Amino acid sequence: MKYIIYIFTFLFFAISVNAQDNIEFKKLENAVLAGGTLLRVEAFPSENIKLRPVDVWLPENYTADKKYAVLYMHDGQNLFDATTTWNKQEWMVDEWATKLMNSGEVKDFIVVGVHNIPQIRWQDLYPEKAMDFMPTKVRDSLITIAKESNFNVNFKGDEYLSFIVDELKPVIDKQFSVLTNKENTFVAGSSMGGLMSMYAVSEYPDVFGGAGCLSTHWPGAMPSPNNPHPVAIFDYMKKNLPEAGTHKLYFDYGNKTLDQYYPKYAPNVDDILKEKGYTDTDSKNLFFEGTNHSEHSWNQRLNQPFVFLLGK
């Protein structure tokens, strides 16, 4: 019986390895870029999350003769090419990365963009274990209300991170000329993607050396009076955010449109960072007056997290 189990385990491992070997990133010939090359897998294999496209952006003159840092980013379809996005806006990742690398302000890096699926984006990007920090009655009440409203409460935050760490990263590490240690592996996103980036560093501090969290959606769900989500998220951070010394944490926020709900949470973030021992050298929590919740606002200040996380 043990022999049979061994054979099945070996076959499963062999099939998994072969599946990873067969993953092919294809160049997007029609991508409108300021620099570099954009590659894509239309449906990246996963046993953790619903299949979706994954993009890899390579800088100009990318070569296997040197090693690159890696920045993993959420909402991959909004990062590079405004001609294909739903709102005709983009993060301008290729513009900023190209400019900053050419000027020598940052180390050489590639960007891996995981696309979202709009219908389940919230479930994928919510920091799942934060729910454990809610009083049981409050959590159960929220779930009951959500179900009565036919809202999907199948949280996938942990599975989403397992996808990035256990399924995606090994392929990136094998197929591209990259540095694989945490000091050269970063994660970034906005809104719910900001929450997930904080969560990624907290859950996998040995994998990610820093996080860029733009317009982080501290309300966790729809802003509302007596909202229990921020309290639970901050309590999770107090316990799980890495201690200072080996990580870099970047947060920012504006005060228009959805960002109008974020300034009141800034003192909570500052207090937690201080309690964990962070200073201005390894953390930021920046306010951008008059900026709203959009790619257009984020692309105006994207140099800030890029230089902070990847600066030489």
Q: How many angstroms from the chain centroid is the CA of residue 198?
A: 8
* Local structure of residue 259 (DSSP, 8 states): G
Mean of the pLDDT values across residues 67-86? 97
Using DSSP's 3-state secondary structure scheme, residue 7 falls into: helix
Look at 177 and 145; give whichever has higher pLDDT.
177
Beta-sheet pairing, 248-253 with 283-287: parallel
| Average predicted confidence (pLDDT) for the chain | 94
- Confirm if 6 and 17 have CB atoms less than 8 A apart: no
Q: Which amino acid is at 44?
A: F
Flag whether pLDDT at 142 surpasses 60: yes
User: Rounded to the nearest 5 degrees, what angle is found at the Cα of 169, between the Cα atoms of 168 and 170?
Assistant: 95
Q: Which amino acid is at 100?
A: L
CA distance 160 to 163: 5
Q: Side by side, which strands form the sheet with 283-287?
A: 26-27, 37-41, 54-58, 109-114, 69-73, 185-190, 210-214, 248-253, 283-287
pLDDT in tens, 174-208: 999 999 999 999 999 999 999 999 999 999 999 99
Mean of the pLDDT values across residues 12-16? 50
> What are the tokens at 114?
């995981």
Q: How confident is the model at residue 15 (pLDDT cuts 50, 70, 90)?
A: low
Which sign, positive or negative, has the C-alpha torsion 254, 260, 262, 264? positive
Using DSSP's 3-state secondary structure scheme, residue 243 falls into: coil
Q: How confident is the model at residue 146 (pLDDT cuts 50, 70, 90)?
A: confident
Mean of the pLDDT values across residues 117-129? 97
pLDDT in tens, 233-280: 999 999 999 999 999 999 999 999 999 999 999 999 999 999 999 999
Torsion of CA 280, 281, 283, 287, to 10 degrees: 50
User: Rounded to the nearest 5 degrees, what angle is found at the Cα of 263, between the Cα atoms of 260 and 266?
Assistant: 155
Of 10-19, 148-157, 243-252, the range with the lowest mean pLDDT is 10-19
pLDDT given at position 36: 97
**Burial profile 251-274: b = 16 or more Cβ within 10 angstroms, e = fewer:** bbbbeeeebebbeebbebbeebbe
Give Cβ neighbours of residue 284 (< 8 Å, ≥ 6 apart): 249, 250, 251, 252, 304, 305, 308
Beta-sheet pairing, 54-58 with 109-114: antiparallel
pLDDT given at position 8: 52
